Amino acid sequence: ELKVEQNPLFLSMQEGKNYTIYCNYSTTSDRLYWYRQDPGKSLESLFVLLSNGAVKQEGRLMASLDTKARLSTLHITAAVHDLSATYFCAVEDSGGGADGLTFGKGTHLIIQP
Amino acid sequence: DTEVTQTPKHLVMGMTNKKSLKCEQHMGHRAMYWYKQKAKKPPELMFVYSYEKLSINESVPSRFSPECPNSSLLNLHLHALQPEDSALYLCASSRLVFGQDEKLFFGSGTQLSVL
């Protein structure tokens, strides 16, 4: 059974600071997703990471994937209040697609002015 | 069109009611999914349809009955639900074989309350 663990589950930080969210998963998978969810809203896709060593950046967010360590990180640089949300990582159970995703428990991020 | 449209956005129903959730996409995706998300929890996979056939049922109680009448539509029929079934129900779609940067597209969800 695929398990996906995120930490921390809750993070309160000040604007301007840097921080990293970690996502570990239990079985081999070549595809990892990061999603953002605002309260009462659906999931917004942030990144799809496809291979070992993949790194993607969008604004103040940067995601990386180490398939050997089964670890992905989401790094936040110089946080701003608008980044407050819940962030989920998710992994496919097997390669190729259409098996659905297993999500981590999510990291509830609050960025304070 | 890169949207997955879900209706209704909100639904309140009694335990004896029968209702349906609807999901529609026009991206040519042949895989469609239902996820359930309780408050402050991650989404949990319920069903996967591939080529309009049910391919994955994650041991969901029979009071939830999915239906995929064609390649663009996905329904979730609800009957005799329990209060603990109150949740956000998310529909998603994707290609069957993932290419570069492929992802699941999620709808905005139906917030269901069972009284």
Select from B42, B101, B109 the Cβ nearest to the Cβ of A88.
Answer: B42
CB-CB contact of A74 with A61 (8 Å): yes
Give the pLDDT confidence of B80-91 residue by residue, as tens digits.
Answer: 999 999 999 999
Residue of B nearest to A86 (CA): B40
Average pLDDT over residues A13-29: 92
Chains A and B: how many Cβ contacts under 8 Å?
66
Average pLDDT over residues B50-75: 94
pLDDT higher than threshold 60 for residue B73: yes
High-pLDDT (> 90) share of chain B, %: 83
Beta strands in A1-113 (DSSP E): 4-7, 10-14, 19-25, 32-37, 43-49, 55-58, 61-66, 71-76, 85-92, 101-103, 107-112
* Interchain CB distance below 8 Å, B104 and A101: yes
Binning pLDDT at 50, 70 and 90, where does residue A95 land?
low
Q: Which residues of A touch B31 (CB under 8 A)?
A: 97-98
Put simply, whether A45 touches B (Cβ < 8 Å) is yes
Give dist(CA B96, CA B27) in Å, integer. 12
Binning pLDDT at 50, 70 and 90, where does residue B98 land?
low
Give the pLDDT confidence of A33-50 residue by residue, as tens digits.
Answer: 999 999 889 999 999 998
Select from A45, A100, A102 the Cβ nearest to the Cβ of B48.
Answer: A100
* Interchain CB distance below 8 Å, B48 and A42: no
- HSE-CB at A34 with a 13 A cutoff on CA atoms is 28
- pLDDT score at A1: 80
Put simply, whether A106 touches B (Cβ < 8 Å) is yes
- pLDDT score at B102: 73
CB-CB contact of A10 with B60 (8 Å): no
Average pLDDT over residues B67-96: 95
| Nearest by Cα to B37 from A99, A26, A39 | A39
pLDDT higher than threshold 90 for residue A80: yes
pLDDT higher than threshold 90 for residue B99: no
Torsion (CA) A42, A73, A27, B93 in degrees, nearest 10: 20
* Interchain CB distance below 8 Å, A33 and B103: yes
